[in-house]
Amino acid sequence: MKGIITALMVSYDQDGNLNEKGLREIIRYNVDVCKVDGLYVNGSTGENFMISTEEKKEIFRITKDEVKGQVPLIAQVGSVNLREAIDLAKYATDLGYDALSAVTPFYYKFNFNEIKHYYNSIINAVDNKMIIYSIPFLTGVNMSLDQFAELFENEKIIGVKFTAGDFYLLERMRKKFPEKLIYGGFDEMLLPATVLGIDGAIGSTFNVNGQRARQIFELGKQGKIEEAREIQHVTNDLISEILDNGLYQTIKEMLKEKGVDAGFCREPMEKLSEERIAKARSIAKNHL
C-alpha cells in the first residue's frame, strides 16, 4: 500500500443525496486516468463528517464493487462516536478492505489515554490493520513522538497519514519507525515529504492531479530533485488556484470538465456561483 493514494471524492446530487453513478465515474477516473496506487475512502475529501452511517457503508460498498481488486483500498472509519467507528470497521473489513484508518477523535479535547483507547478499541475489534489519521489543524490533536510510539506498540497499527506541517516530527518518525508506513497528507508539500522518506501520499487533489503527484514522488525517490521541484511548482500553481476558488467544489467542477459526473458538495458547503464554476472549468482546461 505504497505510492500515490487518492483521498476519494464522492458525488452527491443537488439535494445532497449520494449519486452512485457519479461516484463510480470518479473511481474510474482515478484508477484509469490518474493511475493512482490506491484509494482512501470516506475521508475528509469524501465529506465524511456530514453523512450518515448508512451512507458511509454504501460508499464503502460501491467503491469495493467498482474497483474489483484493481488497487488497494483504505477505509477511513474514524468518528467521535466510537460505536459507529467499530461498526464501520467491521463492515469495511467484511467487505475486504485492505486496511482501516481513523481520524483522531476530536471536539471534546480527549486526553491521550482516551485517544489510545479509541484506536485500540477499533482495531482490536476486527482482523485488519490500522493507519492513524493525524490532521491537527482540523482536529486540534497534536501527538508527540513518544505518543505515536505508544500507539505503534499495537502491532495492528501499521502507520500514519501525516497531514501536518511539522516536518521535524515527520523526520523523527521516519528514523524511529522504519517499519511503519508513513503517508504525506499535504499535496503541496509532497516533494519535501518524499525527500524525508515517506512511503506514499494520500491527497484530495490527486483526484485530478494524480499523474503529476506520481512524477514528483518517483523523481524525488530517485534523487532527481530539480526535475521533481519543477513539477511541484506546476502542481502548487494548480493547488493555489483551486484553493482560491473553493477546494472540493472546484475539484468537482474540474472533474465535470473531464466528463465525470462529480456532482455537488453536501450542505452546509456552498454551491459555486456561475462565475466560480467558469473559473473551475478554466483551471481544468489550463492545467489538466
Residues at the binding site are 44-45, 163, 185, 187-188, 202, 204
Measured CA to CA, the distance from residue 257 to residue 105 in angstroms comes to 36
User: Quick one: which H or E segment has residue 220?
Assistant: helix 206-221
Q: Residues within the annotated binding site for aceneuramate? A: 44-45, 163, 185, 187-188, 204
Task: Determine contact, residues 193/159, Cβ cutoff 8 Å.
Answer: no
**Pair 170, 196: CB distance under 8 Å:** yes
| 8 Å CB contact between 247 and 239 | no
Q: Give the residue from 16, 69, 4, 70 showing the smallest Cα distance to 40.
A: 4
Q: With contact defined as beta carbons under 8 Å apart, do 213 and 184 qualify?
A: no
Q: Residues with catalytic annotation?
A: 133, 161
The set of cell numbers assigned to 59 is: 460508499
- Write out the binding residues for pyruvate: 45, 202
